[in-house]
Each structure stands twice: as structure tokens, then as C-alpha cells.
Amino acid sequence: MSNCLFCKIINKEIPAKIIFENDFIIVFQDIHPKAPVHLLMVPKQHIALVNELNTVNIHFISEIFLQVKNIAKEQGIDQTGYRLVVNSGPDSGQEVQHLHWHLLGGKKLAGIG
């Protein structure tokens, strides 16, 4: 999608501090971190919302969950714990309309429940 900020990062049109990349996902540092480790895990296919997931594009999302443990280990948060957050739609707080996960850690995070 031509106006999508994350698509522009994927296409290297906008710089980002990339932590990991393969054919399915890109992981980069959040520019407004909420924790010592705050990474965005983004599928390389433009999927705007969770409601757009289907059997054709789900492998982009499964790759996030396959790689998160490795990235958490590389970031030194695998043993102390980390949080994965996904927002979907404007009422959730999703600011960029490209589905993504926030990986947060590096400090004790406040409970949400």
C-alpha cells in the first residue's frame, strides 16, 4: 500500500533500526518506546486489521510467533518476561493501519488484568 508507513519501512523508503528481517516479517525499534525493549513485529504483506486474516495470509502472522522467542532471547528478555500486544482498529489505539505486534520488555510492566 503506497501510503502505509510500515510498507515504506518494509520497502526501505523510510529508515528504521531493523532488528530482524526475513521473507515474511520485519522487526524494528519503536520510535516512541514504552519500555527499554520496544520492538514492532510487522508482516511484510499489508494486512490492515486482524479481521483481514485468512488462510492465504496467516503464514505471515505465524512467522511472528515462531520468531518472537528468538528475538526475545537476543534482546535479553526471554528469561525475565515480555509482552506481545496487538491492536486492531481505531478504538483499540491502532495508529498505523498495518497489522503489527508490539514486543515490550526489559522492565517490570504494569498488569493489564
Residue 99 near residue 48 (C-beta atoms within 8 A): yes
Q: Where are the domains of the chain?
A: 5-82+97-105
pTM of the model: 0.93
Quote the pLDDT of residue 113: 62
Q: Which three cell numbers stand for residue 60?
A: 505471515
Task: State whether residue 31 is helix, strand or coil.
Answer: coil
- 100 noted as active-site residue: yes
Quote the pLDDT of residue 59: 94
Q: Cα–Cα distances in Å, from 79 out to 9, 16, 82, 107? A: 30, 27, 9, 12
**Catalytic: which of 59, 98, 100, 102?**
100
Superfamily for 5-82+97-105? HIT-like (3.30.428.10)
At 50-63, the pLDDT tens digits run 999 999 999 999 99
At 2-60, the pLDDT tens digits run 799 999 999 999 999 999 999 999 999 999 999 999 999 999 999 999 999 999 999 99
Residue 83 near residue 105 (C-beta atoms within 8 A): yes
